[in-house]
Chain A
């Protein structure tokens, strides 16, 4: 199935602009590409407006810059998506937290299997 890129996403404003190198999207690690795709997929399936995600990301970037955090673009992206998903009632903070704990502790691995 062909997917037409959405210009609002390709062309995000100011500091929210997607990291590119000579025009091509840059993902420093595979998870960054996946994280990008998740946010785009949720928007395509009308879980939120792209603008809402951009606002969340702009807020996250501004807050991180204010305290001089060394976090990367996609680290901020992930934090933004989580907040938006919670705001939209798609996930609860509790289930996110416990799932993240399972990954952090190694109780759950990359493939999603619990030990």
Chain B
């Protein structure tokens, strides 16, 4: 047992020493600057990740058969594009329409499908925000700058370990004739959680 431990310890100190040597040599040679390295690490720590869901949304907007399959069999249809990781499994896709607006809340951070939606915004993880969304969704959406007309029905969906949700936002007016890439830009992270419309926020 202690042999294993020593071995692990040796490897870590080997790597630490190599890292220290690389860091000091590369800075000394002017190949990196210490500040830019720290800045990059910070940028990636805040990176919201792949947001593969944008591709799903853009395709659903342009391909009615795909959209129908997506709404009927979310998990299988999303995985066709090749990016349902372990943490992105079992996804139900909810369609937003002029009369129904869905938003997703989550009571457990670990059930958020980040490979598809990108990382959740920090407010999304706050307990206060989540419980308020269930009680007064319209007010919460207003806080995010989304004003819905009075007649619009709001669906609030709570992700669980078994089922996670993704919102298929409405295709924005004026997006006819856009390429898939342009449409992907409109499918923001917030629109796929249902706290914004596509093309906003």
Contacts and interface: CB of A to CB of B under 8 A. Distances in A.
Interface of A: 1-5, 7, 9-11, 20, 22-25, 31, 33-38, 40-42, 44-45, 47, 69-72, 74-75, 78-79, 81-82, 85, 90-91, 95-96, 99-100, 102-104, 108, 110, 112
Interface of B: 4, 7-8, 11-27, 29, 31-33, 36-41, 43-45, 47, 49-50, 87, 109-110, 112, 114-115, 118-120
A37 B41 contact: yes
Contacts, number: 135
B112 A23 contact: yes
Given A36-B41, A45-B32, A79-B15, A7 B50 contact: yes
B17 A3 contact: no
Contacts of B13: 104
A45 B17 contact: no
11 contacts: A10-B47, A20-B49, A23-B87, A24-B119, A34-B38, A37-B40, A41-B40, A47-B31, A70-B7, A78-B15, A103-B21
A42 B32 contact: yes
B24 A108 contact: yes
Q: By DSSP majority rule, is chain B's interface helix, strand, loop, or mixed?
A: helix
Q: By DSSP majority rule, is chain A's interface helix, strand, loop, or mixed?
A: helix
Nearest to A91: B25
A33 B41 contact: yes
B26 A35 contact: no
Question: Most chain-B CB neighbours within 10 Å: which of A23, A78, A90, A100?
Answer: A23
Nearest to B44: A5
Given A24-B119, A99-B21, A99-B25, 7 more contacts: A10-B49, A37-B37, A41-B36, A70-B7, A82-B22, A95-B25, A96-B25
A44 B37 CA distance: 10
Contacts of B15: 31, 71-72, 74-75, 78-79
B44 A42 contact: no
A74 B150 CA distance: 53
